Chains A and B, each alone.
Chain A
Amino acid sequence: METVQPSEAAGQIEKNSSRPKWGRIVIWVVVLALLVIVGFTLLRNQRGPVQIGQAVPDFTLTTFSGEKVALQDLKGKVVVINFWASWCLPCEQEAADLEQAWRDYQPGGEVVFLGVNWSDTDKKALAYLERFGITYKNGPDLGTRISQAFRITGVPETYIVDQNGNLVDFKKGPFLSLADIKGRIEPLLAADKGSG
């Protein structure tokens, strides 16, 4: 049997350990990068909806009539953001109450209602608006960007934003009544009058 001298063996071991080092480093860097991406994505998905007290995500809604409404332009007013869809039966339960609330607050100019139409077709959405006689601004959630920013879990969901752009109340599911809607808005108007 061919014998290997100790010095030759040491050299061979040293060559073997240094040769694939760069490869291992690359592999570990890639694995760590993937873990970071996966972890970041999981954290983002687990965040849940916007919390009360937080500033709501800024967005621009393009209405069905082509008008652009930027949330930041509505600072100083109470904004009621309602996510809905024409195929959503619970949305129908609150449609009339939302419209009535809008008509009651519209003359004062202190409250704005925005309807964000989620995952729907224009034809059915417009038919829905006409059916319930909805007159406040509504527009499609293009690319589902607005709903993703709010991290909604379904429709209907309504977010009530105060005059400073912070979320103060939100309702998952349909409002029970007109009083339910107004009961969440009136304190904000009263607080604003009190501080003013």
Chain B
Amino acid sequence: MNDRRTMVNRFALVAVMLSVGLAFLLAGRVQAQGPTPSQNITDDEVNAIAKQLYCPVCENIPLDVCSTQACAEWREQIRDLLAEGYTEAEIKQYFVDRYGDRVLATPPARGLNWLVYVLPPVAILAGVFILYRAFRAWSKNAPEPAAGQPEIRPEDDPYIRRIEEELRRRQKSDSV
């Protein structure tokens, strides 16, 4: 009887020790599980890409500052893609493929979009050219200083002479 009880006790002790050991093993495994890949991506990393994209629905609102639920989901999409190893360029291309060119803060230079890049510098150059031509025309039309020109005396000018004659005649007739 005592032998049997001793055997049972030993068996129970072994079972308990095995259970405890197994519990520690599992706990260690759970503790060893770190954060998911998405959780390793910081908000700054997400926003660095989000600010280069516009909300596909809201007008002219960058994705990093848009406060709608839909925008939050798109930022999470960026986070997931970063966690999967997508590069910034690949993520932007992903968004373009899904939502069109309009999601990009900087439109791609294709189709009519190239006008956005060509027109402003052309307009500035045209403006500079017009100003240059205008200043040049103004300086040409400015009267030149009369260097070496003989002074014209009033009595030599025929028109001034006629005006003075007319004035004298009127003075004479007024005095009469």
Contact = CB atoms under 8 A, between A and B. Distances in A.
B56 to A, nearest CB: 4
Contacts of A120: 70, 73
Given A143-B100, A144-B100, A119 B146 contact: no
Interface in B18-72: 56-57, 68-70
Nearest to B56: A119
A171 to B, nearest CB: 20
A156 interface: no
Interface in A139-194: 140, 142-145, 148
Contact of B73 (A1, A124, A140, A145): A124
Interface in B132-149: 144, 146, 149
Contacts of B80: 123
Interface of B: 56-57, 68-70, 73-74, 76-77, 80, 96-100, 102, 112, 115, 119, 126, 144, 146, 149
Given A119-B70, A144-B102, 13 more contacts: A34-B115, A37-B112, A37-B115, A41-B112, A119-B57, A120-B70, A121-B73, A121-B74, A121-B77, A123-B80, A143-B96, A143-B98, A144-B100
A80 interface: no
For A85, A119, A142, the residue with the greatest tally of chain B CB atoms inside 10 Å of its CB is A119
Interface of A: 1, 27, 34, 37, 41, 85-87, 119-121, 123-124, 140, 142-145, 148
A21 to B, nearest CB: 14
A90 B114 CA distance: 38
B73 A119 contact: no
Given A87-B69, A121-B74, A142 B112 contact: no
B155 to A, nearest CB: 21
A4 to B, nearest CB: 13
Nearest to B55: A119
Contacts of A119: 56-57, 70, 99
A18 B96 CA distance: 50
A113 B57 CA distance: 24
Contacts of B100: 143-145, 148
A37 B118 CA distance: 15
Nearest to B144: A1
A144 B76 CA distance: 20
A105 B115 CA distance: 50
A143 B97 contact: yes
A120 B74 CA distance: 8
Nearest to B129: A23
B52 to A, nearest CB: 18
Contact of A143 (B68, B99, B112): B99
A142 B97 CA distance: 6
18 contacts: A1-B146, A1-B149, A27-B126, A34-B115, A34-B119, A37-B115, A87-B69, A87-B70, A119-B57, A120-B70, A121-B74, A121-B76, A121-B77, A143-B99, A143-B100, A144-B100, A144-B102, A145-B100
A143 B101 CA distance: 8
